[in-house]
């Protein structure tokens, strides 16, 4: 299998396959809306766009389907999932339950060093929000993502798999495109601080309650933004 550095594509992940590179690139484009939700993914066009053969592209598309970012329909080929009210509500309902559980477990399981790291991450986020009130820091992913850190801190491998693999990127897609602007980012940052305090105090019940409330508030905000976009689309027709 062909392997190469990811430096040319802007990733610092060491040696990976071409399919790995393209998977990460397309995933980022979908999450950020560069490839619009509901778009058909033409294999010839995608292969030309990324300068690869159809084999690695098909592998990348299969992985995107497994990540719940792409869907295949009979006689229609691959399409980016469509952002809908129903889909948003489903994702946020699951997030509220699972992330609440993760916060409860994190309060019981995270080491003092891990909590200190989480506080450090939150302090960096606070500095970034002060410098850029647009909410751009909420678009960070992986270890730089607050929710990712708490999920991992739960210590429950199945829960980590559901939150960090199955649900993570579809949730980021909604968060990135509808979830955070300056007006919401300040409130969300304050909510994150309360969650960290509860985890540090080993108050599992409070950590879960605060996390569930935080996810509900984020859902309501995302619903309003998605609704506004749909109203704009109908008005331009």
Which of 27, 53, 80 is at the close of a domain? Answer: 80
The owner of tokens 């410098």 is 131
Instruction: Examine the domain organization and report whether 58 and 174 are in the same domain.
Output: no
pLDDT at 49: 92
Positive or negative, the CA dihedral 212, 32, 121, 190 is negative
Number of domains in the chain: 2
Q: Tell me the residue ranges of DSSP E strands in the chain.
A: 3-5, 15-17, 70-73, 77-80
| pLDDT given at position 135 | 53
For every one of its 237 residues, what pLDDT tens digit does the chain have, with 9 covering 90 and above? 434 433 333 334 444 788 889 999 999 999 989 999 999 999 999 999 999 999 999 999 999 999 999 998 877 789 999 988 899 899 999 999 999 999 999 999 999 999 999 999 999 888 887 776 555 555 555 556 899 999 999 999 999 999 988 898 898 888 887 766 667 788 888 999 999 999 999 999 999 999 999 999 988 888 888 877 666 666 665
Q: Range of 49's domain?
A: 3-80
Three-class secondary structure of residue 5 per DSSP: strand
The answer on 102 and 47 residing in a single domain is no
Question: Among the three residues 57, 80, 103, which one is the final residue of a domain in this structure?
Answer: 80
Between CA 16 and CA 22, with CA 20 as vertex, the angle to 5 degrees is: 125
- pLDDT score of 222: 84
Residues 49 and 129 in one domain: no
pTM: 0.79
Decide which of 80, 100, 126 is a domain's last residue.
80
Q: Does one domain contain both 209 and 112?
A: yes
Whole-angstrom distance, CA of residue 84 vs CA of residue 216: 17
What is the model's pLDDT at position 11? 35
Question: Do 220 and 104 sit in the same domain of this protein?
Answer: yes
Same domain membership, residue 75 and residue 31:
yes
Do 221 and 177 fall within a single domain?
A: yes
CATH no. for residue 201? 1.20.120.530
Same domain assignment for residues 127 and 223: yes
Q: Do both 122 and 55 map to the same domain?
A: no
- Its sign, for the CA torsion 188, 224, 217, 148, is negative
Q: Which two tokens stand for residue 119?
A: 């506080």
What is the phi/psi pair of residue 181, to 5°? Answer: -135, 180
As beta bridge partners, residue 71 has 79
In a shared domain, residues 110 and 148: yes
User: CATH code at 47?
Assistant: 1.10.10.10
How does 191-218 read in b/e, with b if 16+ C-beta sit within 10 Å? bbbebbebbbeeebebbbbbbbebbeeb
Distance of CA 79 to the CA centre of its chain: 19
Do 29 and 113 fall into the same domain? no
Tell me which residue has tokens 């950590």: 207
73 forms beta bridges with 77
Domain identity same for 109 and 53 = no
Query: According to the model, what pLDDT value does residue 185 have?
Result: 80
């Amino acid at each position: 299998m062909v392997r190469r550095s990811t430096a040319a594509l802007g990733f610092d992940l060491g040696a990976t396959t071409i399919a790995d590179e393209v998977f990460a690139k397309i995933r980022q484009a979908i999450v950020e809306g560069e490839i619009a939700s509901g778009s058909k993914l033409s294999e010839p066009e995608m292969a030309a766009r990324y300068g690869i053969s159809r084999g690695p592209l098909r592998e990348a598309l299969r992985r995107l389907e497994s990540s719940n970012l792409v869907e295949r329909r009979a006689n229609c080929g691959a399409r980016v999932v469509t952002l809908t009210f129903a889909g948003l509500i489903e994702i946020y309902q699951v997030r509220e339950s699972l992330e609440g559980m993760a916060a409860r477990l994190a309060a019981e399981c995270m080491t003092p060093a891990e909590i200190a790291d989480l506080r450090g991450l939150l302090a960096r986020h606070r500095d970034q929000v002060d410098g850029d009130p647009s909410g751009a820091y909420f678009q960070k992913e992986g270890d730089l993502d607050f929710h990712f850190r708490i999920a991992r801190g739960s210590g429950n491998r199945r829960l980590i798999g559901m939150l960090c693999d199955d649900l993570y990127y579809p949730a980021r897609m909604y968060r990135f495109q509808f979830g955070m602007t300056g007006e919401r980012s300040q409130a969300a940052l304050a909510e994150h601080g309360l969650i960290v305090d509860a985890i540090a105090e080993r108050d599992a019940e409070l950590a879960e309650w605060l996390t569930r409330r935080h996810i509900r508030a984020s859902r309501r905000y995302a619903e309003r933004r998605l609704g506004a976009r749909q109203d704009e689309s109908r008005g331009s027709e």
